[in-house]
Structure 1
Amino acid sequence: MLVTIVVAVVALILGLIAHHFLRRHDSEADDVGLSVKELISPVQTLTVLILAFVLATAAGSYNRAEEAVHSEANAADHLAETAEFLPDAAQRHRVQADVVCYTRAVHHYEWPAMNDGHPAAEPSVWTADLRSAFKDIGTDQGAFGMLVGADDNRAKARQARLTESTAAVPAAIYWFMLVLLSITVISLCLCIPRRRNQPQLATLAMATALLTATLLLVHDAERPFGGAISVDATAITDVEQQATRDFHADAPGAALPCDDRGHKKDSGA
């Protein structure tokens, strides 16, 4: 970073020195030099290019977040379906109940926490219970490998989802874009004629609105689980509802070990 700053400053100083000595004998006709529009054109081009690059980065993060959510939902659904192959009813019901409670905890606790880029502790209670259930099931069961594989896919998808919940664009870059946007708008104002400028003013207002909207889209898309275009938990809730129906169909009258939000009930409850 220091080298970049030093090189840029040295280049500016050398350029000003060269300008002073090479053009000191020029005629007054050359005093005009480059216009303001010509000088700020590279800054405007840079602003548009960086905005496009940052928007593409944020959109990629949003798409990966959607994919992670659907992958996690599919893995949880596969885990619940695989549990049906367990011959022992108690083991089968335990795995199914863990899937129900896990999806509820993800929906009600982890989704709000991801607005700030943080995980929640409640889903981990059920992943730990799943691992304990697998130990009780044992490797001699034919469905053991499928259960472990499905749970591994769920864990990877959850980690990918949590990773994408953090900002894809560093704060320094976002503030740099905000400064560039301000410079671009101000520079465009300097290029507008003083009279008969209604068309230019209208175009400037539209350009400012578009640039601002693009930056707001970046801010929203880089945080896929918060904002106006956030990824919803529909896929997870669909699995929760299906797993709940399957559990009650397989174990009529049995109670789940969690409440409607996925919080573990007291052992005495």
Structure 2
Amino acid sequence: MIVTIVVAAVALLLGLIAHHFLRRNDSEADDEGLSVRDLIGPVQTLTVLILAFMLATAAGSYNRAEEAVHNEANATDHLEETAEFLPDAAQRRRVQADVVCYTRAVRHSEWPAMVHGRSSPAPSVWTADLRGAFKAIGPDQSVFGMLVGADDTRAKARQARLTESTPAVPAAVYWFMLVLLSITVISLCLCIPRRRNQPQLATLAMVTALLTATLLLVHDAESPFGGAISVGPAAITDVEHQAARDFHAGAPGAALPCDDRGRKESGAA
């Protein structure tokens, strides 16, 4: 983000310096600008088109990440609610406890890792325990298929969430766009008259700021779990609280097999 701002500012400065030295001997008749603006028009158009494409791609990635988070939360909540129909209290508590610990591990371990495009092994501890719980329940139970189906939906939504944590726009495309932005700003500087150019300078500063802000917005939106407009874990947190309430309501005084951050307690089965 800082690099983007610095490069745009340096491009603007270099363009103004070039404008000063290259046009200092221009006559009054040439105050309207050089014909070079006709030559750099295609570059400016290309810059706008690529920037629009990148913005659309980043926005799509952000929306898919948000959808994956809600799908995962809904599937996890459905898994916990389906466990209520298990006739065996111990099996019911185990599934509910795994759901609580899984959501805590996602919120406290995996969410910070996704800022850097990585996953965390912490939630997998509890998904493995869920599979062990399903084996103990067995296919003879009427709710077995519903539990497995909900867990499969949760797993797919988690994978989609992790996929969207990586940048949607390749680094090469982003740097190419940064070069185009610099060329566009410099070329606009060369088209400004040397005298009586205060309105053009003000407009150039505004255009530079808008193009830079758009590129920064792309950079922020393409990594949806970090930055100013990041997707938060509110949905998964709601499931955690609901599952914890159901667990303690069904087994007052029972301890969860994990701490507040989803880490397995020593001695827990």
Q: Considering the TM-score relative to the shorter chain, is it more than 0.5?
A: yes
The residue matched to 1:116 in structure 2 has which SS? coil
* Other-structure match for 1:119: 119
Q: 1:158 to 1:135 in 2, by over 3 A?
A: same
| Aligned position for 2:147 | 147
Counterpart for residue 226 of structure 2: 226
Q: CA deviation at 1:181?
A: 0.2
CA RMSD of aligned residues (A): 1.0
Report the number of matched residues.
236
CA–CA distance in structure 2, aligned partners of residues 230 and 146 of structure 1: 32
How many Å separate the matches in 2 of 1:251 and 1:244?
A: 10
Q: CA deviation at 1:122?
A: 0.4
Aligned residue number for residue 159 of structure 1: 159
Letter in 2 for 1:203: T
CA distance, structure 2, for counterparts of residue 108 and residue 197 of structure 1: 54
* Residue in structure 1 matched with residue 93 of structure 2 by the alignment: 93
Q: Which residue of 2 aligns with 1:76?
A: 76
1:176 and 2:176 correspond: yes
Cα distance, 1:50 vs. partner?
0.3
Distance change in 2, residues 1:97/1:229 (3 Å) = same
Whether the 8 Å CA contact 2:36–2:191 is kept in 1: the answer is yes
- Within the alignment, does 1:41 sit opposite 2:41 as a pair? yes
Bigger RCO of structures 1 and 2 (CA < 8 A, at least 6 apart): 2
Q: Which has the larger radius of gyration?
A: 1
1:85-123 CA distance string (max 9 Å, x none):
000000000000000000000000000000110000100
Match of 2:9 in 1: none
For 2:7, the equivalent position in structure 1 comes to none
SS of corresponding position for 1:119: coil
TM-fit CA distance, 1:268: 6.5
Identity score, percent: 84
Establish whether residue 248 from structure 1 lines up as the match of residue 243 from structure 2: no
Structure 2: distance between partners of 1:65 and 1:268 = 33
Deviation at residue 35 of structure 1 after TM alignment: 2.0
1:58 aligned onto 2:61? no
- Contact 2:257–2:268 (8 Å) recurs in 1: no
Output the amino acid matched with 2:66.
Answer: E
Could you say which residue in structure 1 is the equivalent of 2:212? 212
Superposed CA deviations along residues 61-91 of structure 1, whole A, max 9, x for unmatched, are: 0000000000000000000000000000000
Query: CA–CA distance in 1 between the matches of 2:268 and 2:210?
Result: 59
Structure 1 match to 2:103:
103
Aligned partners of 1:96, 1:110: CA distance in 2, in Å?
20
Measured in 1, the distance between the counterparts of 2:190 and 2:232 equals 44
Counterpart for residue 130 of structure 1: 130
Q: Specify every segment of 5 or more residues in structure 2 that has no aligned partner in the other structure, as ranges.
A: 1-33
TM-score (norm 1): 0.87
The CA deviation at 1:125 is: 0.1
